[in-house]
């Protein structure tokens, strides 16, 4: 009944009461390859309506004690001006965070993480830790990547340079694929981020990677989770702009996310679903399932 929302959650009637806000960001103004992530939030909403409220494996019931609401899609006016669009996104998150709402953003291309992190950084006294699951490091910049300053391939370069995230408490997981430039992701290594290639992910296994996350980031440290759907193998998530062969499975992603329950997540995003490249809706459905695990993680231990 009613109109489509994330997990059939209520549309917030009084935003001041919301504990966790599910926020769509329909934006693809910064993509390098196939467009379409502006359609991601609505496709994930629709598929998420098939999921139930209880996590059978972890017994989490995120909706039981918290007011989790769909805050709708951000309306971005300056879609042809990337910097202005990012400023609009940042202002929106400022308005959410001042009400103590924990944000989970549904993109949108990966450039949206930058304005979200800019807003989040103003609410805490130190750079955030980051757990970043992706096929790409997204730290390309300047002459190693497209010569443009802001793209969906550069948010974590800027987030580090602007002091939003602590590179020594940043881990990037699932990295693979082809490059434009041999030095494209040097910044991740040079700045001290822990880069886990897909080969290392399978050599060590997801449990060991989870232990590395725990060693790197104290359990109370404010941590942001960014999940790019292109971390998943294209056989299970073809609906994305920059697919890379040989990724993790949805099952591994879900197991791995559940294992991160020791961390203090203060916000999260799920990005890069471009549903029109996948007429089966499988990508959006898998994204909705991953989003539910993220919701369980973020809601864990939070007050009423
Ligand atoms: Mn990415």
Q: Check residue 220 and give its pLDDT.
A: 96
- Closest by CA to 175, choosing from 229, 232, 135, 227, is 135
Could you list which residues have their CB under 5 Å from ion ligand 1? 110, 134, 136, 138, 228
Q: How far, in whole angstroms, is CA 264 from its chain's centroid?
A: 15
Q: Check residue 211 and give its pLDDT.
A: 98
Distance 42 CA to ligand 1 centre (A): 20
Q: Check residue 1 and give its pLDDT.
A: 62
Question: Both tokens of residue 147?
Answer: 């010569």
Distance 285 CA to ligand 1 centre (A): 19
* Helices 40-48 + 282-299 axis angle, to 10: 80
State the DSSP H helix or E strand holding residue 83, giving kind and residue range, or none if neither.
helix 82-97
Q: Check residue 303 and give its pLDDT.
A: 63
E strand segments, 30-67: none
Q: Are 230 and 242 in contact (CB under 8 A)?
A: yes
Distance 48 CA to ligand 1 centre (A): 22
- Closest by CA to 288, choosing from 234, 242, 239, 245, is 239
Count CB-CB contacts under 10 A for residue 215: 10
E strand segments, the chain: 20-25, 68-73, 102-107, 128-133, 165-175, 194-197, 222-228, 264-271
Would residue 218 be called left, alpha or beta, if left means φ above 0 and alpha means ψ between -120 and 50 degrees? Answer: beta
Q: Check residue 16 and give its pLDDT.
A: 84
Four-residue CA torsion sign, 139, 141, 145, 146: positive
Distance 265 CA to ligand 1 centre (A): 19
Distance 65 CA to ligand 1 centre (A): 32
Give the 3-state secondary structure percentages of the chain, helix then strand then coil, rounded to 5: 40, 20, 40
The widest CA-to-CA distance across the chain, in whole angstroms, is 52
- Closest by CA to 20, choosing from 225, 276, 266, 293, is 266
Residues in the chain where the model's pLDDT stays below 50: none
Q: Check residue 148 and give its pLDDT.
A: 78
Distance 138 CA to ligand 1 centre (A): 5
Distance 92 CA to ligand 1 centre (A): 22
């Amino acid at each position: 009944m009613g109109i489509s929302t994330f997990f059939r959650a209520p549309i917030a009637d009084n935003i001041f009461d919301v504990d966790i806000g599910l926020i769509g960001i329909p934006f693809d103004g910064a993509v390098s390859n196939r467009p379409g992530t502006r359609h991601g939030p609505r496709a994930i909403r629709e598929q998420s309506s098939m999921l139930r409220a209880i996590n059978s494996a972890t017994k989490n019931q995120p909706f039981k004690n918290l007011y989790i609401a769909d805050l709708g899609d951000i309306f971005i006016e300056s879609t042809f001006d990337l910097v202005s669009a990012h400023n609009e996104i940042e202002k929106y998150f400022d308005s959410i965070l001042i009400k103590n709402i924990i944000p989970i953003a549904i993109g949108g291309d990966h450039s949206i993480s930058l304005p979200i992190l800019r807003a989040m950084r103003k609410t805490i006294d130190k750079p955030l830790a980051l757990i970043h699951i992706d096929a790409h490091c997204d730290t390309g910049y300047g002459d190693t990547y497209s010569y443009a300053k802001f793209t969906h391939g550069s948010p974590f370069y800027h987030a580090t340079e602007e002091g939003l995230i602590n590179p020594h408490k940043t881990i990037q997981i699932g990295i693979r694929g082809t490059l434009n430039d041999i030095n494209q992701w040097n910044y991740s290594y040079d700045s001290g981020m822990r880069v886990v290639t897909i080969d290392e992910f399978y050599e060590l296994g997801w449990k060991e990677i989870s232990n590395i996350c725990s060693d790197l980031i104290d359990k109370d440290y404010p941590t942001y989770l960014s999940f790019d759907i292109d971390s998943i193998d294209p056989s299970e998530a073809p609906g994305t702009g920059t697919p890379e062969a040989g990724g993790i499975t949805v099952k591994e992603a879900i197991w791995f996310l559940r294992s991160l329950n020791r961390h203090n997540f203060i916000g999260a995003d799920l990005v890069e679903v471009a549903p029109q490249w996948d007429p089966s809706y499988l990508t959006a459905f898998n994204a909705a399932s991953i989003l539910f695990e993220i919701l369980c993680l973020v809601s864990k231990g939070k007050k009423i």
